[in-house]
Structure 1
Amino acid sequence: MELCQHLTEARTEDPPARTPQGCEECLAIGARWVHLRRCLSCGHIGCCDSSPNRHATGHATEIGHPVIASFEPGESWRWCYVDNVMG
Protein backbone atom coordinates (compact mmCIF):
# COMPACT_ATOMS: atom_id res chain seq x y z
CA MET A 1 0.00 0.00 0.00
CA GLU A 2 1.42 3.37 -1.03
CA LEU A 3 1.43 6.14 1.58
CA CYS A 4 -0.01 9.53 0.79
CA GLN A 5 2.35 12.35 -0.15
CA HIS A 6 1.81 14.12 3.20
CA LEU A 7 2.96 11.07 5.14
CA THR A 8 5.98 10.45 2.93
CA GLU A 9 7.01 14.12 3.18
CA ALA A 10 6.34 14.45 6.93
CA ARG A 11 9.31 14.91 9.22
CA THR A 12 11.07 11.73 10.18
CA GLU A 13 12.79 13.38 13.12
CA ASP A 14 10.75 14.60 16.07
CA PRO A 15 9.84 18.28 15.94
CA PRO A 16 10.47 20.07 19.21
CA ALA A 17 7.66 19.40 21.67
CA ARG A 18 6.47 22.70 23.07
CA THR A 19 4.49 21.25 25.99
CA PRO A 20 5.34 17.59 26.55
CA GLN A 21 3.38 17.28 29.80
CA GLY A 22 -0.02 17.50 28.10
CA CYS A 23 -2.37 19.07 25.58
CA GLU A 24 -1.44 22.74 25.26
CA GLU A 25 -5.01 24.01 25.06
CA CYS A 26 -6.38 21.68 27.75
CA LEU A 27 -3.65 22.76 30.15
CA ALA A 28 -4.54 26.41 29.47
CA ILE A 29 -8.26 25.93 30.23
CA GLY A 30 -8.00 23.24 32.90
CA ALA A 31 -9.63 20.53 30.77
CA ARG A 32 -8.82 16.83 30.60
CA TRP A 33 -7.66 14.72 27.69
CA VAL A 34 -7.56 11.01 26.80
CA HIS A 35 -4.49 10.65 24.53
CA LEU A 36 -1.97 13.07 23.10
CA ARG A 37 -0.98 13.74 19.48
CA ARG A 38 2.00 15.70 18.12
CA CYS A 39 1.89 17.80 14.96
CA LEU A 40 4.78 16.76 12.72
CA SER A 41 4.98 20.22 11.17
CA CYS A 42 5.43 22.37 14.27
CA GLY A 43 5.49 20.13 17.37
CA HIS A 44 2.12 21.26 18.76
CA ILE A 45 0.81 18.81 21.36
CA GLY A 46 -2.97 18.36 21.27
CA CYS A 47 -5.55 15.92 22.55
CA CYS A 48 -7.06 13.12 20.46
CA ASP A 49 -10.56 12.88 19.00
CA SER A 50 -11.66 10.73 21.96
CA SER A 51 -10.95 13.71 24.21
CA PRO A 52 -13.76 16.20 24.85
CA ASN A 53 -12.07 19.11 23.04
CA ARG A 54 -10.30 17.36 20.12
CA HIS A 55 -7.49 19.93 20.04
CA ALA A 56 -5.19 17.99 17.68
CA THR A 57 -7.87 17.95 14.98
CA GLY A 58 -8.67 21.60 15.71
CA HIS A 59 -5.02 22.52 15.21
CA ALA A 60 -4.83 20.61 11.92
CA THR A 61 -8.03 22.24 10.66
CA GLU A 62 -7.17 25.78 11.76
CA ILE A 63 -3.47 25.83 10.91
CA GLY A 64 -3.49 23.38 8.00
CA HIS A 65 -0.75 21.06 9.22
CA PRO A 66 -1.68 17.69 7.70
CA VAL A 67 0.14 15.00 9.72
CA ILE A 68 0.12 14.09 13.40
CA ALA A 69 1.83 11.29 15.30
CA SER A 70 0.82 9.59 18.50
CA PHE A 71 2.54 11.15 21.51
CA GLU A 72 1.77 8.11 23.65
CA PRO A 73 4.56 5.85 24.97
CA GLY A 74 5.05 2.78 22.80
CA GLU A 75 3.01 4.09 19.85
CA SER A 76 4.66 5.07 16.56
CA TRP A 77 1.81 5.59 14.10
CA ARG A 78 1.13 8.75 12.07
CA TRP A 79 -2.15 10.07 10.61
CA CYS A 80 -2.81 12.34 7.63
CA TYR A 81 -5.90 14.51 8.06
CA VAL A 82 -5.98 15.45 4.36
CA ASP A 83 -6.07 11.91 2.95
CA ASN A 84 -7.51 10.15 6.03
CA VAL A 85 -4.79 7.51 6.07
CA MET A 86 -2.51 6.06 8.71
CA GLY A 87 1.15 5.47 8.15
Structure 2
Amino acid sequence: MTQADGFDPTAAPSGTGCAECEASGGWWFHLRRCAQCGHVGCCDSSPARHATAHFHATGHPLVQSYEPGEEWFWNFATDELFESGPALAPPHSHPEDQPAPGPAGRVPADWARTLR
Protein backbone atom coordinates (compact mmCIF):
# COMPACT_ATOMS: atom_id res chain seq x y z
CA MET A 1 0.00 0.00 0.00
CA THR A 2 1.10 3.57 -0.58
CA GLN A 3 0.46 7.03 0.79
CA ALA A 4 -2.31 7.33 -1.80
CA ASP A 5 -3.96 4.35 -0.11
CA GLY A 6 -3.85 6.15 3.24
CA PHE A 7 -0.54 4.70 4.41
CA ASP A 8 2.89 6.26 4.71
CA PRO A 9 5.14 3.70 6.37
CA THR A 10 7.86 6.34 6.88
CA ALA A 11 5.74 8.76 8.95
CA ALA A 12 6.81 8.66 12.58
CA PRO A 13 4.24 9.04 15.38
CA SER A 14 3.65 12.62 16.53
CA GLY A 15 4.38 11.71 20.16
CA THR A 16 3.58 9.36 23.00
CA GLY A 17 0.12 10.79 23.69
CA CYS A 18 -2.77 12.57 21.99
CA ALA A 19 -1.31 15.71 20.44
CA GLU A 20 -4.37 17.87 21.16
CA CYS A 21 -4.97 16.54 24.68
CA GLU A 22 -1.32 17.18 25.51
CA ALA A 23 -1.65 20.76 24.24
CA SER A 24 -4.89 21.42 26.13
CA GLY A 25 -4.20 19.51 29.35
CA GLY A 26 -6.82 16.89 28.53
CA TRP A 27 -6.75 13.13 28.96
CA TRP A 28 -7.53 10.07 26.87
CA PHE A 29 -8.80 6.54 27.22
CA HIS A 30 -6.90 4.89 24.35
CA LEU A 31 -4.72 6.20 21.52
CA ARG A 32 -4.89 5.89 17.74
CA ARG A 33 -2.14 6.70 15.22
CA CYS A 34 -2.85 8.07 11.74
CA ALA A 35 -1.39 5.64 9.20
CA GLN A 36 -0.77 8.46 6.74
CA CYS A 37 0.91 11.25 8.74
CA GLY A 38 1.62 9.74 12.18
CA HIS A 39 -0.71 12.04 14.14
CA VAL A 40 -1.53 10.47 17.52
CA GLY A 41 -5.06 11.20 18.70
CA CYS A 42 -7.44 9.88 21.32
CA CYS A 43 -10.09 7.24 20.55
CA ASP A 44 -13.83 7.72 20.27
CA SER A 45 -14.32 6.54 23.86
CA SER A 46 -12.20 9.46 25.02
CA PRO A 47 -13.90 12.74 25.89
CA ALA A 48 -12.49 14.72 22.94
CA ARG A 49 -12.34 12.09 20.16
CA HIS A 50 -9.32 13.71 18.51
CA ALA A 51 -8.50 10.79 16.16
CA THR A 52 -11.91 11.15 14.51
CA ALA A 53 -11.52 14.94 14.42
CA HIS A 54 -8.17 14.46 12.65
CA PHE A 55 -9.89 12.29 10.01
CA HIS A 56 -12.56 14.96 9.43
CA ALA A 57 -9.98 17.76 9.23
CA THR A 58 -7.50 15.97 6.95
CA GLY A 59 -9.34 13.20 5.15
CA HIS A 60 -6.76 10.69 6.39
CA PRO A 61 -9.01 7.64 6.79
CA LEU A 62 -6.81 5.01 8.43
CA VAL A 63 -5.65 4.73 12.03
CA GLN A 64 -3.80 2.00 13.83
CA SER A 65 -4.19 1.29 17.50
CA TYR A 66 -1.35 2.94 19.41
CA GLU A 67 -1.78 0.63 22.38
CA PRO A 68 0.92 -1.90 23.35
CA GLY A 69 0.30 -5.33 21.82
CA GLU A 70 -2.41 -4.16 19.39
CA GLU A 71 -1.85 -4.09 15.61
CA TRP A 72 -5.35 -3.52 14.18
CA PHE A 73 -6.35 -0.69 11.82
CA TRP A 74 -9.65 1.18 11.51
CA ASN A 75 -10.88 2.86 8.35
CA PHE A 76 -13.03 5.88 9.27
CA ALA A 77 -14.21 6.31 5.67
CA THR A 78 -15.68 2.80 5.41
CA ASP A 79 -16.16 1.88 9.10
CA GLU A 80 -14.04 -1.24 8.58
CA LEU A 81 -11.69 -3.00 10.97
CA PHE A 82 -8.54 -4.70 9.67
CA GLU A 83 -6.65 -7.09 11.94
CA SER A 84 -3.34 -6.10 10.35
CA GLY A 85 -1.77 -3.96 7.66
CA PRO A 86 1.54 -2.57 6.49
CA ALA A 87 4.25 -2.01 9.08
CA LEU A 88 4.50 1.62 10.14
CA ALA A 89 7.59 3.44 11.40
CA PRO A 90 8.43 2.75 15.05
CA PRO A 91 7.51 3.13 17.80
CA HIS A 92 4.34 1.07 17.39
CA SER A 93 2.67 2.10 20.64
CA HIS A 94 2.89 4.53 23.48
CA PRO A 95 5.42 3.51 26.16
CA GLU A 96 4.27 0.43 28.05
CA ASP A 97 4.68 2.22 31.39
CA GLN A 98 2.26 4.98 30.28
CA PRO A 99 -1.15 4.20 31.80
CA ALA A 100 -4.43 3.86 29.94
CA PRO A 101 -6.36 5.95 30.53
CA GLY A 102 -3.67 8.56 30.58
CA PRO A 103 -1.63 10.48 31.02
CA ALA A 104 -0.83 9.91 34.67
CA GLY A 105 -1.96 12.77 36.87
CA ARG A 106 -4.64 14.15 34.51
CA VAL A 107 -7.26 11.39 34.50
CA PRO A 108 -10.26 12.25 36.68
CA ALA A 109 -11.26 9.80 39.43
CA ASP A 110 -14.66 9.29 37.74
CA TRP A 111 -13.19 8.69 34.25
CA ALA A 112 -15.25 5.54 33.63
CA ARG A 113 -18.49 7.60 33.72
CA THR A 114 -17.33 9.58 30.70
CA LEU A 115 -16.63 6.64 28.38
CA ARG A 116 -18.66 6.71 25.18
Gaps of 5+ in 2: 83-116
Amino acid at match of 1:43: G
What is the correspondence of 1:1-87 to structure 2 with a 5 Å cutoff? 9-11=5-7, 13=9, 15-20=11-16, 22-87=17-82
Write 1 or 2 for the structure with the bigger share of helix. Answer: 1
RMSD: 1.7
Structure 2 SS opposite 1:28? helix
TM-score by length of 1: 0.83
Larger radius of gyration: 2
- Displacement of 1:18: 1.6
Q: How many residues align?
A: 79
Over the matched positions of the two proteins, sequence identity in percent amounts to 47
Structure 2 SS opposite 1:59? helix
Gaps of 5+ in 1: none
Q: Aligned partners of 2:57 and 2:6: how far apart in 1?
A: 18
